[in-house]
Amino acid sequence: MKVDVLGTEYEIIELTETDKLEFATKCLIGQCNLRTKQILLNKSEFERLLEGDGEPAIKLYKAETIRHELLHVIFHETGHSKYADDEKLVDCLAVLFPKILKIFHHANAI
Ligand SMILES: [Zn+2]
Distance 16 CA to ligand 1 centre (A): 20
Distance 110 CA to ligand 1 centre (A): 26
Instruction: Name the pTM for this structure.
Output: 0.87
Mean pLDDT of 49-60: 82
What is the pLDDT, as a whole number, of residue 105? 97
Distance 69 CA to ligand 1 centre (A): 6
Say what the alpha-carbon torsion angle 61, 66, 71, 73 is, to the nearest 10 degrees: 150
Supply the DSSP symbol for 49: H
Ranges of each domain in the chain: 2-106
pLDDT category, 49, cuts 50, 70, 90? confident
Distance 73 CA to ligand 1 centre (A): 10
What is the pLDDT, as a whole number, of residue 21? 59
Q: What is the DSSP string of 87-106?
A: HHHHHHHHHHHHHHHHHHHH
Distance 108 CA to ligand 1 centre (A): 30
* Alpha-carbon Rg for the chain in angstroms: 15
What is the pLDDT, as a whole number, of residue 19? 67
Q: Which of these, 3, 14, 13, lies nearest to 74 by C-alpha position?
A: 3
Residues 45, 28: Cα–Cα separation, whole Å: 7
pLDDT at 5 over 60: yes
